[in-house]
């Protein structure tokens, strides 16, 4: 019993950054989708991620052949040869990528220091959001995996490796192809869970109009990105860090300029559709009746 308690405590204390990101995910997802959908996606997303990792370390599919180095199973939770925190990370990476994709495709309303994406049910479940969110998640891994592979140089620890060194700082291209496939499955699962809604007009338990709620997911995305680049710089991998920064300069700039240009330039039809789908939206608070007719 004492050993089990130590492992539970170690799971949190050895990876505090993971659980800080996870807490931010819960805040973003619950206030966006509600408790029930967030809980369903957390379990479903974890299972998809775990199965993909378990499969890859045993069959090479979908990421290619890699292996975990069991040096911490006596101090933190492992599940059939896979560290618990690793599969859990996929969940918040998938959600923040999805939220960022919604920010890119949705009309934007700003008011009184607030920022509201005028998303609709059709946008949430669209192929465009599925494709963009999957790419966003893969792009995060392009930054995460090379520095994670150098875990022996920082507090992650050397927990895994590839049977053969890949061409991208030791990471094989098969890894990124596998991430795209798994990202598609996870975002699709999230869209299907979101579509599972018996009473569309009712606000789900947990949904809240927090100030700047629409930006919590994208900020989480950027936080994960910045965290990994800072770690990369701190271990002296300057070329790797510069490559990561250059990878993101263009897409981040395009997204920022696009959002700035689209702010408050939505049509009446777009606002009306948003309010029909989400009548509790903060966008309704100062909307004149003529704006949605």
- Higher-confidence residue: 284 or 164? 164
Q: pLDDT for 134-161, tens place per residue?
A: 999 999 999 999 999 998 888 888 888 9
Q: pLDDT for 185-240, tens place per residue?
A: 999 999 999 988 656 667 888 899 888 999 999 999 999 999 999 999 999 999 99
List of residues 6+ apart from 132 with CB closer than 8 A:
100, 101, 104, 105
Q: Give a yes or no: residue 293 inside a domain.
A: no
Residue 164 in tokens: 């053969």
Average pLDDT on 118-126 reads 94
Residue 205 is predicted with a pLDDT of 85
Q: How confident is the model at residue 80 (pLDDT cuts 50, 70, 90)?
A: confident
Q: Give a yes or no: residue 136 inside a domain.
A: yes
Give, to the nearest 10 degrees, the angle between helix 84-105 and helix 127-148: 140
Cα 5 to Cα 78: distance, rounded to the nearest angstrom: 14
Q: Give a yes or no: residue 292 inside a domain.
A: no
Average pLDDT on 169-179 reads 96
Query: In degrees, to the nearest 5, what angle opens at C-alpha 95 toward C-alphas 92 and 100?
Result: 120
Interior/surface letters 109-135, b for 16+ CB within 10 angstroms, e for the rest: beeeebbbbbbbbebbebeebbebbbb
Residue 290 is predicted with a pLDDT of 47
pTM for the full predicted model:
0.94
Q: In this structure, are residues 46 and 114 in contact, taking their beta carbons and an 8 Å threshold?
A: no
List of residues 6+ apart from 148 with CB closer than 8 A:
156, 160
What mean pLDDT value characterizes the chain?
90
Average pLDDT on 251-275 reads 90
Residue 10 is predicted with a pLDDT of 65
Name the domain count of the chain: 1
- With helix as H, strand as E and coil as C, how does the chain read? CHHHHHHHHHHHHCCHHHHHHHHHHHHHHHHHHCHHHHHHHHHHHHHHHHHHHHHHHHHCCCCCCEEECCCCCCCCCEECCEEHHHHHHHHHHHHHHHHHHHHHHCCEEEECCEEEECCCHHHHCCHHHHHHHHHHHHHHHHHHHHHHCCHHHCCCCCCEEECCCECECEECHHHHHHHHHHHHHHHHHHHHHHHCCCCCCCCCCCCCCCCCHHHHHHHHHHHHHHHHHHHHHHCCCHHHHHHHHHHHHHHHHHHHHHHHHHECCCCHHHHHHHHHHCCCCHHHCCCCHHHHC
Average pLDDT on 108-132 reads 92
Q: In this structure, are residues 209 and 199 in contact, taking their beta carbons and an 8 Å threshold?
A: no
Instruction: Judge whether residue 62 has pLDDT over 70.
Output: yes
Q: Give a yes or no: residue 42 inside a domain.
A: yes
Q: Give a yes or no: residue 64 inside a domain.
A: yes
Residue 288 is predicted with a pLDDT of 56
Average pLDDT on 47-63 reads 95
Q: How far is the CA of 253 from the CAs of 119, 155, 246, 247, 275, in angstroms?
A: 22, 31, 11, 11, 30
Instruction: Judge whether residue 3 has pLDDT over 70.
Output: no
Q: How confident is the model at residue 282 (pLDDT cuts 50, 70, 90)?
A: confident
Instruction: Judge whether residue 276 has pLDDT over 90.
Output: yes
Residue 9 is predicted with a pLDDT of 72
Q: Give a yes or no: residue 80 inside a domain.
A: yes
Percent of the chain's residues with pLDDT above 90: 66
Cα 9 to Cα 113: distance, rounded to the nearest angstrom: 40
Residue 238 in tokens: 């300057």
Instruction: Judge whether residue 15 has pLDDT over 90.
Output: no
Q: Give a yes or no: residue 291 inside a domain.
A: no
Domain that residue 146 falls in: 2-286
């Amino acid at each position: 019993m004492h050993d089990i308690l130590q492992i539970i405590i170690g799971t949190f204390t050895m990876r505090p950054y993971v659980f800080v990101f996870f807490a931010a995910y819960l805040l973003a997802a619950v206030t966006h989708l509600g408790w029930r959908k967030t809980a369903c996606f957390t379990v479903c997303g974890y299972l998809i991620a775990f199965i993909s990792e378990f499969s890859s370390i045993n069959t090479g599919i979908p990421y290619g052949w890699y292996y975990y180095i069991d040096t911490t199973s006596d101090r933190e939770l492992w599940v059939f040869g896979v560290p618990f925190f690793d599969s859990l990370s996929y969940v918040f990476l998938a959600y923040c990528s999805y939220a960022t994709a919604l920010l890119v495709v949705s009309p934007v309303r700003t008011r009184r220091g607030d920022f509201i994406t005028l998303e609709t049910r059709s946008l949430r479940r669209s192929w465009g959001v599925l494709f963009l969110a999957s790419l966003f998640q893969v792009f995060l891994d392009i930054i995460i995996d090379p520095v994670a592979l150098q875990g022996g140089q920082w507090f992650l620890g050397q927990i895994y490796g590839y049977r053969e060194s890949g061409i991208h700082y030791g990471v094989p291209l098969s890894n990124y192809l596998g991430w795209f496939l798994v990202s598609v499955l996870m975002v699709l699962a999230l869209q299907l869970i979101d579509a599972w809604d018996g009473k569309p007009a009712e606000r789900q338990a947990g949904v809240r109009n927090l100030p700047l709620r629409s930006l919590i997911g994208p900020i989480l995305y950027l936080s994960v990105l910045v965290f990994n680049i800072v770690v990369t710089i701190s271990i002296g991998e300057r070329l790797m860090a510069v490559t990561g920064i250059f990878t993101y300069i263009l897409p981040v700039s395009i997204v920022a300029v696009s959002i700035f240009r689209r702010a408050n330039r939505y049509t009446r039809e777009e606002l009306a559709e948003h309010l029909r789908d989400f009548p509790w939206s903060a966008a309704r608070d100062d909307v004149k009746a003529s704006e949605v007719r």
